[in-house]
Amino acid sequence: MPLLARYIQFSQTGGPEVLTLAETTLLDPGPGEVLIRQTAIGVNFIDTYHRSGLYPLPLPSGIGQEAAGVIEAVGAGVVEFAPGDRVAYAGGGQRAAQGGECGAYASHRLMLANGLVPIPGEIPDEVAAGTLLRGMTAQYLLKRTFPIANGMTVLIHAAAGGVGQIACQWARCLGAKVIGTVGSTAKAELARAWCDHVIDYTQPDWPARVRALTGGRGVPVVYDGVGAATFEGSLDSLALRGTLVSFGNASGAVPPFSPGLLSQKGSLYLTRPTLGHYTATREELLDTAADYFTVVARGDVEANIGQHYPLADAAQAHRDLEARKTTGSTLLVP
Ligand SMILES: NC(=O)c1ccc[n+]([C@@H]2O[C@H](COP(=O)([O-])OP(=O)(O)OC[C@H]3O[C@@H](n4cnc5c(N)ncnc54)[C@H](OP(=O)(O)O)[C@@H]3O)[C@@H](O)[C@H]2O)c1
Protein backbone atom coordinates (compact mmCIF):
# COMPACT_ATOMS: atom_id res chain seq x y z
CA MET A 1 0.00 0.00 0.00
CA PRO A 2 1.48 3.41 -0.92
CA LEU A 3 2.35 5.42 2.19
CA LEU A 4 2.96 9.12 2.72
CA ALA A 5 6.31 9.75 4.46
CA ARG A 6 7.46 13.05 5.95
CA TYR A 7 11.11 13.80 5.27
CA ILE A 8 13.67 16.59 5.21
CA GLN A 9 15.03 17.66 1.84
CA PHE A 10 17.20 20.37 0.30
CA SER A 11 17.29 21.68 -3.27
CA GLN A 12 20.42 23.84 -2.97
CA THR A 13 23.51 23.64 -0.79
CA GLY A 14 23.98 26.23 1.93
CA GLY A 15 23.31 26.94 5.60
CA PRO A 16 20.83 25.05 7.81
CA GLU A 17 17.96 27.15 6.36
CA VAL A 18 18.06 25.12 3.11
CA LEU A 19 16.59 22.13 4.98
CA THR A 20 12.80 21.94 4.58
CA LEU A 21 10.10 19.45 5.53
CA ALA A 22 8.41 17.67 2.58
CA GLU A 23 6.24 14.64 1.86
CA THR A 24 6.79 11.75 -0.50
CA THR A 25 4.87 8.61 -1.43
CA LEU A 26 6.63 5.34 -0.64
CA LEU A 27 5.58 2.26 -2.63
CA ASP A 28 5.78 -1.33 -1.35
CA PRO A 29 9.35 -2.59 -0.85
CA GLY A 30 10.95 -4.06 -3.99
CA PRO A 31 13.21 -7.15 -4.15
CA GLY A 32 15.79 -7.10 -1.33
CA GLU A 33 14.16 -4.08 0.31
CA VAL A 34 12.30 -3.41 3.53
CA LEU A 35 9.99 -0.62 4.66
CA ILE A 36 10.99 0.85 8.05
CA ARG A 37 8.82 2.94 10.35
CA GLN A 38 11.54 5.05 11.90
CA THR A 39 11.42 5.76 15.64
CA ALA A 40 14.62 7.81 16.07
CA ILE A 41 17.14 9.43 13.72
CA GLY A 42 20.80 10.26 14.33
CA VAL A 43 22.24 13.65 13.33
CA ASN A 44 25.91 13.40 12.35
CA PHE A 45 28.51 15.92 11.31
CA ILE A 46 28.67 14.32 7.86
CA ASP A 47 25.07 15.49 7.30
CA THR A 48 26.30 19.09 7.54
CA TYR A 49 28.98 18.34 4.89
CA HIS A 50 26.26 17.03 2.56
CA ARG A 51 24.07 20.08 3.22
CA SER A 52 26.92 22.60 2.76
CA GLY A 53 28.24 20.90 -0.39
CA LEU A 54 31.64 19.90 1.09
CA TYR A 55 30.62 16.32 0.15
CA PRO A 56 28.38 16.95 -2.90
CA LEU A 57 25.11 15.05 -3.49
CA PRO A 58 22.89 15.18 -6.59
CA LEU A 59 20.10 17.70 -5.85
CA PRO A 60 17.31 17.82 -4.81
CA SER A 61 18.20 15.35 -2.10
CA GLY A 62 17.07 13.86 1.19
CA ILE A 63 19.62 13.94 4.00
CA GLY A 64 20.86 11.76 6.85
CA GLN A 65 22.77 8.52 7.33
CA GLU A 66 21.50 6.93 10.48
CA ALA A 67 18.23 5.82 12.07
CA ALA A 68 16.47 3.03 13.93
CA GLY A 69 12.95 1.69 13.68
CA VAL A 70 10.64 -1.24 13.12
CA ILE A 71 10.25 -3.17 9.88
CA GLU A 72 6.71 -2.84 8.53
CA ALA A 73 7.02 -4.85 5.31
CA VAL A 74 9.66 -6.86 3.45
CA GLY A 75 10.18 -7.30 -0.29
CA ALA A 76 10.83 -10.46 -2.28
CA GLY A 77 13.97 -12.38 -1.33
CA VAL A 78 14.43 -10.83 2.12
CA VAL A 79 15.09 -13.71 4.52
CA GLU A 80 17.23 -12.11 7.26
CA PHE A 81 14.46 -9.80 8.55
CA ALA A 82 10.69 -9.95 9.08
CA PRO A 83 7.96 -7.43 9.91
CA GLY A 84 8.20 -6.38 13.57
CA ASP A 85 12.03 -6.65 13.76
CA ARG A 86 13.89 -3.70 15.26
CA VAL A 87 16.71 -2.58 13.00
CA ALA A 88 19.21 0.26 12.60
CA TYR A 89 21.54 1.51 9.91
CA ALA A 90 24.46 3.90 9.65
CA GLY A 91 25.25 4.86 6.10
CA GLY A 92 24.58 1.55 4.31
CA GLY A 93 21.47 0.27 2.61
CA GLN A 94 20.58 3.20 0.35
CA ARG A 95 18.57 2.16 -2.68
CA ALA A 96 19.64 3.22 -6.14
CA ALA A 97 18.03 6.60 -6.96
CA GLN A 98 14.38 6.00 -7.75
CA GLY A 99 10.99 7.47 -6.98
CA GLY A 100 10.23 8.22 -3.35
CA GLU A 101 13.86 8.07 -2.18
CA CYS A 102 14.62 10.07 0.95
CA GLY A 103 17.51 10.21 3.43
CA ALA A 104 17.46 9.08 7.07
CA TYR A 105 15.70 12.27 8.22
CA ALA A 106 12.28 10.74 7.54
CA SER A 107 9.27 9.18 9.23
CA HIS A 108 9.47 6.04 7.06
CA ARG A 109 12.10 4.76 4.66
CA LEU A 110 12.65 2.03 2.09
CA MET A 111 16.09 0.47 2.54
CA LEU A 112 18.08 -2.46 1.18
CA ALA A 113 18.03 -5.18 3.83
CA ASN A 114 21.75 -5.89 3.45
CA GLY A 115 22.64 -2.47 4.92
CA LEU A 116 20.68 -3.04 8.15
CA VAL A 117 21.75 -4.44 11.49
CA PRO A 118 19.49 -6.05 14.10
CA ILE A 119 19.14 -4.12 17.39
CA PRO A 120 19.74 -6.38 20.42
CA GLY A 121 16.90 -6.45 22.98
CA GLU A 122 18.87 -4.57 25.65
CA ILE A 123 19.70 -1.61 23.36
CA PRO A 124 16.98 1.11 23.13
CA ASP A 125 16.08 2.48 19.68
CA GLU A 126 17.38 5.92 20.67
CA VAL A 127 20.83 4.57 21.48
CA ALA A 128 21.00 2.61 18.23
CA ALA A 129 19.75 5.56 16.15
CA GLY A 130 21.89 8.19 17.83
CA THR A 131 25.15 6.34 18.32
CA LEU A 132 25.55 3.38 15.92
CA LEU A 133 27.48 5.44 13.36
CA ARG A 134 29.73 7.03 15.99
CA GLY A 135 30.13 3.77 17.90
CA MET A 136 31.14 1.80 14.79
CA THR A 137 33.53 4.64 13.97
CA ALA A 138 35.15 4.37 17.40
CA GLN A 139 35.34 0.59 16.92
CA TYR A 140 37.31 0.69 13.69
CA LEU A 141 39.50 3.66 14.70
CA LEU A 142 40.62 2.19 18.03
CA LYS A 143 40.71 -1.50 17.11
CA ARG A 144 41.60 -1.60 13.43
CA THR A 145 43.02 1.71 12.07
CA PHE A 146 45.54 2.16 14.89
CA PRO A 147 44.89 -0.62 17.41
CA ILE A 148 45.30 0.55 21.00
CA ALA A 149 47.63 -1.50 23.19
CA ASN A 150 47.37 -1.73 26.96
CA GLY A 151 49.24 1.09 28.72
CA MET A 152 49.41 3.40 25.69
CA THR A 153 48.67 7.13 26.12
CA VAL A 154 46.46 8.43 23.28
CA LEU A 155 45.10 11.84 22.28
CA ILE A 156 41.42 12.10 21.25
CA HIS A 157 40.05 15.44 20.03
CA ALA A 158 36.56 16.84 20.76
CA ALA A 159 36.27 14.53 23.76
CA ALA A 160 32.83 15.87 24.76
CA GLY A 161 31.41 15.34 21.25
CA GLY A 162 29.55 12.35 19.83
CA VAL A 163 32.44 10.23 18.54
CA GLY A 164 34.73 11.68 21.23
CA GLN A 165 32.69 10.50 24.23
CA ILE A 166 32.39 6.97 22.91
CA ALA A 167 36.02 6.75 21.73
CA CYS A 168 37.45 8.03 25.04
CA GLN A 169 35.46 5.54 27.12
CA TRP A 170 36.27 2.64 24.80
CA ALA A 171 39.98 3.55 24.63
CA ARG A 172 40.16 3.38 28.41
CA CYS A 173 38.50 -0.05 28.38
CA LEU A 174 41.24 -1.15 25.99
CA GLY A 175 43.82 -0.10 28.58
CA ALA A 176 44.81 3.35 27.28
CA LYS A 177 45.42 6.51 29.24
CA VAL A 178 43.32 9.13 27.44
CA ILE A 179 44.16 12.77 26.90
CA GLY A 180 41.00 14.47 25.57
CA THR A 181 40.66 17.95 24.11
CA VAL A 182 37.62 20.25 24.42
CA GLY A 183 36.71 23.80 23.42
CA SER A 184 35.15 25.14 26.63
CA THR A 185 35.24 24.92 30.42
CA ALA A 186 31.76 23.37 30.54
CA LYS A 187 32.81 20.62 28.13
CA ALA A 188 36.02 20.07 30.15
CA GLU A 189 33.89 19.37 33.25
CA LEU A 190 31.92 16.77 31.30
CA ALA A 191 34.91 15.11 29.63
CA ARG A 192 36.74 14.58 32.91
CA ALA A 193 34.38 11.64 33.50
CA TRP A 194 36.00 9.61 30.70
CA CYS A 195 39.47 11.19 30.19
CA ASP A 196 42.58 10.89 32.34
CA HIS A 197 43.59 14.42 31.30
CA VAL A 198 41.54 17.15 29.61
CA ILE A 199 43.12 19.96 27.57
CA ASP A 200 41.35 23.08 26.27
CA TYR A 201 42.63 23.29 22.68
CA THR A 202 41.39 26.87 22.30
CA GLN A 203 44.37 27.82 24.51
CA PRO A 204 47.65 28.58 22.73
CA ASP A 205 50.37 25.92 22.58
CA TRP A 206 48.15 23.04 23.69
CA PRO A 207 50.56 20.53 22.04
CA ALA A 208 53.16 21.56 24.68
CA ARG A 209 50.68 20.33 27.31
CA VAL A 210 50.45 16.98 25.54
CA ARG A 211 54.26 16.74 25.61
CA ALA A 212 54.34 17.74 29.28
CA LEU A 213 51.86 14.93 30.07
CA THR A 214 53.96 12.35 28.21
CA GLY A 215 57.42 13.10 29.62
CA GLY A 216 58.29 15.16 26.52
CA ARG A 217 57.87 12.20 24.13
CA GLY A 218 54.42 12.90 22.66
CA VAL A 219 51.71 10.31 22.00
CA PRO A 220 51.93 7.35 19.58
CA VAL A 221 48.53 8.21 18.06
CA VAL A 222 46.15 11.16 17.69
CA TYR A 223 42.52 10.51 16.67
CA ASP A 224 41.50 13.81 15.06
CA GLY A 225 37.95 14.49 13.84
CA VAL A 226 38.36 18.27 14.04
CA GLY A 227 40.49 18.68 10.90
CA ALA A 228 41.91 22.03 9.78
CA ALA A 229 42.09 23.75 13.19
CA THR A 230 44.00 20.93 14.92
CA PHE A 231 46.09 19.46 12.07
CA GLU A 232 49.45 21.10 12.86
CA GLY A 233 48.97 20.78 16.61
CA SER A 234 48.16 17.09 16.21
CA LEU A 235 51.42 16.53 14.30
CA ASP A 236 53.28 18.44 17.04
CA SER A 237 51.75 16.20 19.71
CA LEU A 238 53.03 12.94 18.19
CA ALA A 239 56.03 10.89 19.28
CA LEU A 240 58.65 9.93 16.67
CA ARG A 241 57.05 7.64 14.07
CA GLY A 242 53.62 8.36 15.57
CA THR A 243 50.35 8.13 13.63
CA LEU A 244 47.80 10.85 12.94
CA VAL A 245 44.39 9.31 12.29
CA SER A 246 42.57 12.22 10.63
CA PHE A 247 38.94 11.14 10.38
CA GLY A 248 36.89 14.33 10.09
CA ASN A 249 36.50 18.02 9.27
CA ALA A 250 34.40 19.60 12.04
CA SER A 251 36.47 22.83 11.71
CA GLY A 252 37.01 22.48 7.94
CA ALA A 253 39.05 20.19 5.69
CA VAL A 254 42.81 19.86 6.24
CA PRO A 255 44.50 22.03 3.60
CA PRO A 256 46.99 20.51 1.12
CA PHE A 257 50.54 20.03 2.51
CA SER A 258 53.88 18.57 1.44
CA PRO A 259 54.70 14.99 2.58
CA GLY A 260 58.02 16.47 3.70
CA LEU A 261 56.16 17.89 6.71
CA LEU A 262 55.66 14.33 8.04
CA SER A 263 59.40 13.76 7.81
CA GLN A 264 60.31 17.06 9.54
CA LYS A 265 57.92 16.35 12.42
CA GLY A 266 59.34 12.90 13.19
CA SER A 267 58.82 10.39 10.33
CA LEU A 268 55.11 10.41 11.07
CA TYR A 269 52.30 8.35 9.53
CA LEU A 270 49.00 9.82 8.38
CA THR A 271 45.80 8.00 7.47
CA ARG A 272 42.40 9.41 6.46
CA PRO A 273 39.93 6.54 7.04
CA THR A 274 36.18 6.38 6.54
CA LEU A 275 33.57 4.08 8.12
CA GLY A 276 32.24 2.69 4.82
CA HIS A 277 35.63 1.17 3.99
CA TYR A 278 35.74 -0.61 7.37
CA THR A 279 32.20 -1.99 7.05
CA ALA A 280 32.43 -2.81 3.35
CA THR A 281 31.28 -6.44 3.61
CA ARG A 282 28.12 -7.72 5.32
CA GLU A 283 30.29 -9.63 7.81
CA GLU A 284 32.35 -6.52 8.69
CA LEU A 285 29.19 -4.46 9.17
CA LEU A 286 27.53 -7.03 11.45
CA ASP A 287 30.73 -7.65 13.46
CA THR A 288 31.45 -3.95 13.92
CA ALA A 289 27.89 -3.19 15.05
CA ALA A 290 27.78 -6.23 17.34
CA ASP A 291 31.10 -5.25 18.96
CA TYR A 292 29.74 -1.76 19.65
CA PHE A 293 26.39 -2.96 21.00
CA THR A 294 28.25 -5.41 23.28
CA VAL A 295 30.35 -2.71 25.01
CA VAL A 296 27.22 -0.59 25.46
CA ALA A 297 25.18 -3.50 26.85
CA ARG A 298 28.04 -4.37 29.26
CA GLY A 299 28.10 -0.77 30.47
CA ASP A 300 31.75 -0.28 29.38
CA VAL A 301 30.64 2.57 27.12
CA GLU A 302 27.76 4.86 28.03
CA ALA A 303 26.10 6.12 24.87
CA ASN A 304 24.94 9.60 25.77
CA ILE A 305 22.17 11.31 23.77
CA GLY A 306 22.86 14.96 24.52
CA GLN A 307 19.89 16.54 22.74
CA HIS A 308 16.57 15.74 20.96
CA TYR A 309 14.74 17.77 18.27
CA PRO A 310 11.48 17.14 16.38
CA LEU A 311 12.11 16.03 12.77
CA ALA A 312 10.79 19.38 11.50
CA ASP A 313 13.56 21.18 13.49
CA ALA A 314 16.43 19.49 11.64
CA ALA A 315 17.83 22.92 10.67
CA GLN A 316 18.14 23.89 14.34
CA ALA A 317 19.92 20.62 15.10
CA HIS A 318 22.46 21.45 12.37
CA ARG A 319 22.87 25.01 13.71
CA ASP A 320 23.63 23.76 17.21
CA LEU A 321 26.01 21.02 16.03
CA GLU A 322 27.99 23.45 13.89
CA ALA A 323 28.03 26.12 16.64
CA ARG A 324 29.69 23.60 19.04
CA LYS A 325 26.64 23.79 21.31
CA THR A 326 26.00 20.04 21.43
CA THR A 327 27.49 17.31 23.60
CA GLY A 328 27.27 13.57 22.98
CA SER A 329 24.94 12.47 20.18
CA THR A 330 21.97 14.33 18.66
CA LEU A 331 18.58 12.81 17.79
CA LEU A 332 15.65 13.81 15.60
CA VAL A 333 12.30 12.38 16.64
CA PRO A 334 9.97 11.68 13.69
N1 LIG B 1 35.70 9.16 8.97
C2 LIG B 1 34.68 8.57 9.55
O3 LIG B 1 34.47 7.38 9.38
C4 LIG B 1 33.80 9.37 10.45
C5 LIG B 1 32.66 8.78 11.01
C6 LIG B 1 31.91 9.54 11.92
C7 LIG B 1 32.27 10.83 12.23
N8 LIG B 1 33.37 11.37 11.62
C9 LIG B 1 33.81 12.73 11.95
O10 LIG B 1 34.04 12.79 13.34
C11 LIG B 1 33.87 14.13 13.78
C12 LIG B 1 32.94 14.14 14.98
O13 LIG B 1 31.64 13.82 14.54
P14 LIG B 1 30.38 13.95 15.50
O15 LIG B 1 29.20 13.79 14.63
O16 LIG B 1 30.54 13.04 16.66
O17 LIG B 1 30.45 15.48 15.96
P18 LIG B 1 30.78 16.08 17.40
O19 LIG B 1 32.14 15.60 17.83
O20 LIG B 1 29.65 15.83 18.30
O21 LIG B 1 30.82 17.63 17.07
C22 LIG B 1 31.99 18.20 16.57
C23 LIG B 1 32.83 18.81 17.67
O24 LIG B 1 34.05 19.25 17.08
C25 LIG B 1 34.55 20.32 17.83
N26 LIG B 1 34.97 21.42 16.96
C27 LIG B 1 36.20 21.99 16.95
N28 LIG B 1 36.24 23.00 16.08
C29 LIG B 1 35.01 23.12 15.54
C30 LIG B 1 34.44 24.01 14.60
N31 LIG B 1 35.15 25.00 14.02
N32 LIG B 1 33.14 23.85 14.27
C33 LIG B 1 32.41 22.88 14.82
N34 LIG B 1 32.91 22.00 15.73
C35 LIG B 1 34.20 22.11 16.09
C36 LIG B 1 33.44 20.79 18.80
O37 LIG B 1 33.79 20.37 20.10
P38 LIG B 1 34.51 21.47 21.07
O39 LIG B 1 33.50 22.55 21.27
O40 LIG B 1 34.85 20.71 22.29
O41 LIG B 1 35.72 21.96 20.32
C42 LIG B 1 32.21 20.05 18.29
O43 LIG B 1 31.29 19.80 19.33
C44 LIG B 1 33.34 14.92 12.57
O45 LIG B 1 34.41 15.57 11.95
C46 LIG B 1 32.81 13.82 11.67
O47 LIG B 1 32.78 14.18 10.34
C48 LIG B 1 34.12 10.67 10.75
169 lies in a domain?
A: yes
The CATH number of the domain holding residue 193 is: 3.40.50.720
254-284 pLDDT, tens digit each: 999 999 999 999 999 999 999 999 999 999 9
State mean pLDDT over 26-30: 91
Given this model, what pLDDT does residue 2 score? 78
* Residue 43 within a domain: yes
The number of distinct structural domains making up the chain is 2
> Which of these, 206, 181, 184, lies nearest to 196 by C-alpha position?
181
What is the mean predicted confidence (pLDDT) over 144-150? 98
Residue 157 and residue 248 share a domain? yes
Q: Which domain holds residue 327?
A: 3-129+279-333
All residues at 6 or more sequence positions from 220 whose CB lies less than 8 Å from its CB, including other chains? 146, 152, 153, 154, 238, 239, 242, 243
Do 290 and 230 lie in one domain? The reply is: no
Q: Is residue 158 domain-shared with residue 267, that is, in the same domain?
A: yes
Residue 143 lies in a domain: no
- 46 touches ligand 1 (CB under 6 Å): yes
Where residue 92 falls among pLDDT bands split at 50, 70, 90? confident
Whether ligand 1 lies within 6 angstroms of the CB of 161 is answered as yes
45 touches ligand 1 (CB under 6 Å): yes
How many angstroms does the Cα of residue 50 sit away from the middle of ligand 1? 14
Q: 3-state secondary structure string, 114-173? A: HHCEECCCCCCHHHHHHHHHHHHHHHHHHHHHCCCCCCCEEEECCCCCHHHHHHHHHHHH
Residues 166 and 233 in one domain: yes
Predicted confidence (pLDDT) at residue 208 exceeds the cutoff of 90: yes
123 lies in the same domain as 193: no
Q: What is the dihedral of CA 310, 312, 315, 317, to 10 degrees?
A: 10
Nearest-atom index, ligand 1, CA of 164: 19
| Domain-located, residue 135 | no
Q: Does 319 sit in the ligand 1 pocket, CB within 6 Å?
A: no
12 shares a domain with 82: yes
Q: Does 248 lie in the same domain as 304?
A: no
Ligand 1 binding pocket includes 158 (Cβ within 6 Å): yes
We report the CATH number of the domain holding residue 16 as 3.90.180.10
**In this structure, are 248 and 192 located in the same domain?**
yes
Note whether residue 220 is domain-resident.
Answer: yes
In the predicted model, is pLDDT for residue 308 greater than 80? Answer: yes
Residue 201 and residue 89 share a domain: no
What is the CB-side half-sphere exposure of residue 278 using CA atoms within 13 A?
23
The last residue of one of the domains, among 254, 272, 290, is 272
Q: Are strands 33-43 and 329-333 parallel, antiparallel or unpaired?
A: antiparallel
Q: Is residue 134 part of a domain?
A: no
Angle between helices 282-298 and 125-140 (to 10 degrees): 110
Residue 190 lies in a domain: yes
Closest C-alpha residue for ligand 1 atom 44: 248
Within a domain: residue 317?
A: yes
- Hey, whose CA ends up nearest to atom 37 of ligand 1? 158
Ligand 1 near 134 CB (within 6 A): yes
